[in-house]
């Protein structure tokens, strides 16, 4: 076969292979875009576990009519312009690939309106060349993205979808993790027309406590103590359960780096080490922890789905977490009833 440049749709479908694993991955990308657009309210509607419909609606900044075509193109982003931006990422997205990838493996429509526009516009991309058509639509300021029939044109992927219940379970778990990352945003999640979660914006400590209790369960909220520690410009805060109260089932284990949810090895290792021998073999740590540091100190461009980060001063960060958490846990163990409960 001669060498040839792949048609855009196929190139996008290949890229989609890396980030669009299942409906929950689509929800993650769309919600992260809403958060990057400054939305304070996000509604997520799901039908049939996301295989029929995923709709994410936000009240963020919107996309201007003349940028709709670009928003659906690969390698098009409003979030970085040069390498120095990439080295200090504050937004959740920056690869400019999600919408192009998702629209290559579904029937995607993007409806949006900016505050400067009188009217809204709708765009969708189709076919081998991913030709975008744009037409007028009705929509308040903000954006709605509708993803129909995910993987309809990639049967190998579609085959890997599990039952609607399982897929929705993944979406619900993801929304939980996202809702714990942004207390200031109100959230709504529905499945097949039924509202499953409705969370008001939580501005006070008491409202945040309520959200943690709703999302992590009463037991966690009752046992967890609020902790906070800082070393230079590295800060850790959140909620952690004393070893004697840790559950035997894996429960709430959520960590975030600069607002981004993570399954980071270094972080998990540090948390485990802080608990040390105080947990029995059956017990699991329980925590919701937020690490905040200068964005120049972390590289988020490690994995396409951005589940992992690389810390420039890995040793220092690791040791800081271990010592901050060990101190907090020692205190909690000594005075189990005197913690500042969530």
Q: Which is nearer to ligand ADP, 216 or 257 (CB)?
A: 257
Q: Where are the beta strands (DSSP E) in 2-150?
A: 41-47, 53-58, 107-113, 120-126, 131-137, 142-148
d(CA 54, CA 109): 11
Cα 104 to Cα 18, 47, 72, 76, 98: the distances in Å are 13, 20, 10, 15, 10
Minimum CB separation of residue 50 from Mg ion in Å reads 17
Binding marks (x or -) toward Mg ion, 89..108, rule CB under 5 A? ----x----x----------
- Which among Mg ion, ligand ADP, none contacts residue 58 (Cβ within 5 to 8 A by kind)? ligand ADP
Q: Which is nearer to Mg ion, 100 or 242 (CB)?
A: 100
Minimum CB separation of residue 313 from Mg ion in Å reads 28
Q: Which tokens belong to 153? A: 């044109």
């059956």: which residue's tokens? 282
Q: Which is nearer to Mg ion, 92 or 270 (CB)?
A: 92
Minimum CB separation of residue 301 from ligand ADP in Å reads 11
Residue 49 contacts Mg ion per CB under 5 A: no
Residue 60 contacts Mg ion per CB under 5 A: no
d(CA 21, CA 159): 12
Q: Which tokens belong to 68? A: 């709709």
Residue 112 contacts Mg ion per CB under 5 A: no
Q: Where are the beta strands (DSSP E) in 168-271?
A: 186-191, 194-199, 224-231, 234-241, 253-257, 260-262
Q: Which is nearer to ligand ADP, 37 or 234 (CB)?
A: 37
Q: Which is nearer to ligand ADP, 86 or 161 (CB)?
A: 86
- Which among Mg ion, ligand ADP, none contacts residue 146 (Cβ within 5 to 8 A by kind)? none
Nearest Cα neighbor of 266 from 306, 321, 325 is 321
- Which among Mg ion, ligand ADP, none contacts residue 63 (Cβ within 5 to 8 A by kind)? ligand ADP
d(CA 169, CA 171): 5
Minimum CB separation of residue 196 from ligand ADP in Å reads 21
Site residues (vs ligand ADP, CB under 6 A): 29, 33-34, 37, 58, 60-63, 71, 76-79, 93-100, 143
């Amino acid at each position: 076969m001669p060498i040839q440049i792949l048609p855009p749709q196929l190139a996008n479908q290949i890229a989609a292979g890396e980030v669009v694993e299942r409906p929950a991955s689509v929800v993650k990308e769309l919600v992260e875009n809403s958060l990057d657009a400054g939305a304070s309210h996000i509604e997520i509607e799901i039908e049939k576990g996301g295989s029929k419909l995923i709709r994410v609606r936000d009240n963020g900044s919107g996309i201007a009519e003349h940028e709709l075509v670009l928003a659906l193109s690969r390698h098009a982003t409003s979030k970085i312009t040069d390498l120095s931006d990439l080295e200090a990422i504050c937004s959740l997205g920056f690869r400019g690939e999600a919408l192009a990838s998702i629209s290559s493996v579904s029937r995607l429509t993007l409806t949006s309106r900016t505050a400067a526009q009188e009217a809204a516009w709708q765009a969708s991309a189709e076919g081998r060349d991913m030709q975008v058509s744009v037409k007028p639509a009705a929509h308040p300021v903000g954006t709605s993205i509708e993803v129909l029939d995910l993987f309809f044109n990639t049967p190998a992927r579609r085959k890997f979808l599990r039952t609607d219940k399982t897929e929705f379970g993944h979406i619900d778990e993801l929304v939980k993790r996202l809702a714990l990352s942004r207390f200031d945003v109100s959230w709504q999640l529905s499945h097949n027309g039924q509202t499953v979660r409705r969370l008001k914006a939580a501005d006070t400590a008491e409202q945040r406590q309520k959200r943690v209790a709703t999302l992590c369960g009463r037991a966690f909220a009752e046992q967890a103590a609020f902790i906070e520690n800082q070393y230079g410009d590295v800060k850790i805060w959140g909620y952690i359960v004393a070893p004697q109260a840790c559950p035997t089932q894996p429960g709430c284990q959520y960590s975030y780096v600069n607002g981004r949810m993570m399954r980071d090895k270094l972080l998990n290792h540090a948390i485990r080490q802080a608990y040390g021998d105080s947990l029995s073999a059956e017990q699991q740590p329980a925590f919701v922890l937020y690490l905040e540091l200068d964005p120049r100190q972390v590289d988020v461009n490690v994995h396409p789905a951005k589940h992992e980060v690389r810390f420039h001063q890995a040793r220092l960060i690791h040791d800081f977490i271990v010592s901050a958490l060990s101190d907090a846990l020692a205190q909690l163990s000594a005075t189990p009833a005197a913690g500042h409960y969530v």
